Amino acid sequence: MEIEVSVNRTNVFTPINPCYKVDVSYTLTKTPSTICVLFQIFLGSCSAVTVCGNLLVITSIIYFKQLHTPTNSLILSLAVCDLLVGLLVFPLTMEFSISSCLYYGDLFCKVRGSFEVSLCTSSILNLCCISVDRYYAVCQPLTYRTKMNHNTVSLMILLSWFISVLIAISFIIVGVNREKCAEKCFNDTVIVDTMALVFSFYLPVIVMLCIYLKIFLVAQRQARSIQNTTKSGATINKMERKATKTLVIVMGVFLLCWLPFFLCTTVLSFSRVYMPLPLTELLNWLALSNSMLNPFIYAFFYSWFRSAFRMIISGKIIQGDYTNCKLF
């Protein structure tokens, strides 16, 4: 049975959606199809994997005392952010992708947009904080414990969340201004858009690229020092391959997920280039998938996290007290 929903809008230009059909009278005809069902199952599965993966990370860090370190506090903040992306942003964006906001009105779009901007920005800034922590751990190991203590890490976490919320609020304010003053506040909205893009993505990316490049160079220098001491070529090759692999995975996955979306956003913000809605939605989902992949990149990399996951999944922590268990 078909469900018709009237939309009281004019000048609506919406491409055909696999789940909804828009006719000339702007009436949405709900026609569940195989493509629509598969689309919802796939995105729902991505949301479930995102929630479960980050929930494992959160439970591991909170439960096992051995994981109560400044570095893992940053990973915990990242996991909480990505968990909220899976719980809130994924379902809201899935509904937006299906309906394109045609029958929800502006409120749904604003709520969804504010959650997406704040949580995704927080995720990126937390990744940036983790790169700073890794820099001090690798490049300044002697002063690492004094500089990257719990107080410093807590301040970094609070700052990253504060900036993300501030950017989300600015987006809401700009949206209201656009509706009220149209072209008169064009310069103001351009300035806000520019600052939001810079602080949400481009500046953190530049920081991370510089930091990971520095880490890679230092790791190579340390490996050469070991080679000169031990006269062993196998050691240098093994260490260089491991450092290269780690940095390529960390930055490669991050840029693969986020760079296309923000390049698209930049083009749309500062030009009148037409971009098909399905393409922008695809890039949006690619960016959100980073929250699903983060647990695998930043947690599954380490053997102690894998041990913690096995104990949690097997239900071992329910059977007894393993908070002081040695994971490595």
> What mean pLDDT, rounded, does the chain reach?
78
pLDDT at residue number 45: 93
Residue 320 has pLDDT above 70, yes or no: yes
Residue 233 has pLDDT above 70, yes or no: no
d(CA 78, CA 58): 9
pLDDT at residue number 63: 94
The interaxial angle of helices 150-181 and 186-197, nearest 10 deg, is 160
Give one word for 31, left, alpha or beta, with left for phi > 0 and alpha for psi -120 to 50: beta
Between 143-152, 188-197, 214-223, the lowest mean confidence (pLDDT) is in 188-197
d(CA 113, CA 124): 16
Residue 96 has pLDDT above 70, yes or no: yes
In this structure, what are the phi and psi dihedrals at residue 28, rounded to the nearest 5 degrees?
-85, 125
- Cα 209 → chain centroid: 17
Hey, which of 190-194, 285-289, 297-301 has the most confident mean pLDDT? Answer: 285-289
Delineate the domains of the chain, giving CATH numbers in brackets. 3-293 (1.20.1070.10)
pTM of the entire predicted model: 0.82
What is the tens place of the pLDDT at every residue in 237-296? 565 555 556 667 878 888 899 999 899 888 887 777 777 877 888 898 999 999 999 888
Per-residue pLDDT averaged across 227-244, rounded?
57
Under a CB-based contact definition with an 8 Å cutoff, are residues 281 and 116 in contact? no
